Amino acid sequence: MTKKLFWENPYLTTLETVIKSVVGNSITLLETIFYAFSGGQESDAGTIGGYPVLEAINSGLDIQYLLPEGHELKSGDRLRIDIDWNRRYRLMRLHFAAELIIELVYSELDKVKKIGAHISPDKARIDFIWRENISQHSFRSLPLRPSTWLI
């Protein structure tokens, strides 16, 4: 199981760790600060051992990182992870803003259901099912209509 240090300290931007396994261009690590796409939130960007991470995939209790062809990393190698802090911080802020909006919508709308979400560094989207158009609802607890919210 990959130890996911981003849950313990989301402000870490670098980490020295060890490669657990290498299969072609896919590696797993003993521990990581590099978040993989999950729950609609995009992955972190950055490097592992100086190689750009092309994709980060949750795989059971591990995270697999796809690196470019031709990397020379081996199981047991000690290396450094660097994440793109600007991207991470934007994702964190938009994730928090989305969670606030979800709670506000739940507090205002009876039997509303969240059915999806997508959080990228540039915007966050939340999908709901409700009996009518949510944008037509006058949210009592909010000073502005949802269509005017800027996050």
Per-residue confidence (pLDDT) for residue 139, from 0 to 100: 74
Does the pLDDT value for residue 145 go beyond 80? no
Of the residues 26, 51, 83, which one is the last residue of a structural domain?
83
On whether both 53 and 99 belong to a single domain, the answer is no
- Whether residues 76 and 97 fall in one domain: no
pTM of the prediction? 0.82
Residue 98's domain comprises 89-148
Domain boundary among 83, 112, 136: 83
Same domain, 79 and 33: yes
Compute the average pLDDT of residues 123-131: 92
CATH of the domain at 72: 2.40.30.130
Q: What is the DSSP string of the chain?
A: --EEHHHH-TT--EEEEEEEEEETTEEEESEE--PPPBTTBPPP-EEETTEEP-EEEEETTEEEEE--TT----TT-EEEEEE-HHHHHHHHHHHHHHHHHHHHHHHHSTT-EEEEEEE-SS-EEEEEE-SS-GGGS--TT-SS-GGG---
Interval 55-88: pLDDT, tens? 999 999 999 999 999 999 999 999 999 999 999 9
Q: What total of structural domains would you count in the chain?
A: 2
Asked if residue 13 has pLDDT above 80, the reply is yes
Whether residue 146 is predicted with pLDDT greater than 90 in this model: the reply is no
At residue 142, the pLDDT reads 56
Percent of the chain with pLDDT over 90: 77
Residue range 24-28: average pLDDT?
A: 97
Based on the fold, state whether residues 7 and 79 are members of the same structural domain: yes
User: 107 or 143: whose pLDDT is higher?
Assistant: 107
Tell whether 38 and 95 lie within a shared domain.
Answer: no
**Whole-number pLDDT of residue 39:** 86
Q: Which residues contact 123 (CB under 8 A, 6 or more apart)?
A: 94, 151
Segment 128-144, tens digit of pLDDT: 998 888 877 777 665 55
